[in-house]
Each structure stands twice: as structure tokens, then as C-alpha cells.
A and B are shown apart, each in its own frame.
Chain A
């Protein structure tokens, strides 16, 4: 059974700092990995998706990397801003096909960026 773990559980940084969030998964046979942002009491906003054949994806100040063989992904946030404060979730999809698209989520990292 796939297990996804995120470290740290919470992180507080001053504005402008670069930071890294970590995600690990126990079964390396994944199809893709998706990073989400969740604001308090709100839904999930997709940030980046990395296919298993890719090593990294970038969107603006965000860069996600994937090391499938070691079961790890990182989300790098450059020049953090107070508006980046949220919970960041990673989720893995096991395989291609309609029956293999369920996402397994980590517990999230709660990020606070202080002005």
C-alpha cells in the first residue's frame, strides 16, 4: 500500500527566503506526482504535475523535482512571499488508466511566510 510522507509538518520562514518542502513515497511505481496548495478551509489548487519520466517541472517561482527510484520529490519555492502561506500537499498517482488514477496524499507541510 502506497504511503506518502511530507517533511516538515510545519515551516515558518521570513519573507524573501528560498525554501524546500519534501515529499517521500514508499512505492516507487508511480505514474505521476502532483503538488497542491490548500488555503485554510478551502479547496486544493494544483501547482505542478511531474510525470514519472520527468526529473523536474517549473512554474514561476516554483520548481518541483522527482527522483522516482528513491521515492522522493521536492518543491522549491524561491523568494518566498507572505501570500505563499498555505498548506502544501503532494499526491501520487499509481498508474495510467481510468482505474489507476486515484491520488494518494501526504499530510502536508504548513508554510508560514512572515513579512
Chain B
């Protein structure tokens, strides 16, 4: 069964460094998402992406964040100048054109020290 994959599973970085989290959505899906979950808190929406552009973003998704679909398979989230409060589990999700169901990847645990 097709699934969303994410790499790395765990990333440790120092405050102020840039990180890139990578996702491979389900093939032929058209809509892509990033969410995050700070330990002990709710899953929060960050951004949605469709047709090679951001379709919606939350107030969390400020200039520190960017997304890109550099080729036909990868979807990345870049966090510039990481802060301690960026430590969280980051989930990628994708959705097909005719389906309303979002499928989530296993997540990348980001630890900023």
C-alpha cells in the first residue's frame, strides 16, 4: 500500500542553524501539507501546497519557514535559523485529487539545542 515517507526520522540541530525536512508524498497525490506537534500538544497545521504554490498557511508559518517541491517526488520544509521552540515532531501529509482523506507520514522529530 502506498505511503508517505519522511527523512530523517530524527534531526538534532543547534539553535540558529538551518534544517531541511524531506517528504516523499504518495505518488499521484496533488495536495501536500506540513503539520507539527510539539510534545504534549495538539497537532497544528503549518502549510498546504498545491499546483506548485502555497494555498494556505497558518500564523505559525512565518518568514522563517519555506516549502518547496524541487522535483516530481519530493516535498521539503526548510526552517531557517532554528529556535528552541521549533523542537517538535513535523508531519508531512498528502491527498489525492479526488480523495478527501489526508495521509500522514511517520514524522521527523526535530530537536533544537
Contact = CB atoms under 8 A, between A and B. Distances in A.
- Looking at chain B's contact residues, the main secondary structure is strand
A100 B56 contact: yes
Interface residues of B, number: 27
Contacts of A41: 109
Interface in B94-113: 95, 100-107, 109
B45 A46 contact: no
Interface string A76-115: 0000000000000101010000111111111110000000
A87 to B, nearest CB: 10
Interface residues of A, number: 26
Nearest to A93: B100
A100 B95 CA distance: 13
A31 B95 CA distance: 15
Given A98-B55, A98-B56, A107-B42, A36 B104 contact: yes
Contacts of B106: 42-43
Interface string B5-24: 00000000000000000000
B51 A98 contact: yes
B68 interface: no
A86 B95 CA distance: 24
A45 B106 CA distance: 9
26 contacts: A41-B109, A42-B107, A43-B91, A43-B105, A43-B106, A43-B107, A44-B43, A44-B93, A46-B101, A49-B101, A51-B100, A89-B43, A98-B50, A99-B56, A100-B56, A101-B33, A101-B48, A101-B95, A101-B102, A102-B48, A103-B33, A104-B45, A105-B42, A105-B43, A105-B44, A107-B41
Interface of B: 4, 31, 33, 35, 41-45, 48, 50-51, 55-56, 58, 91, 93, 95, 100-107, 109
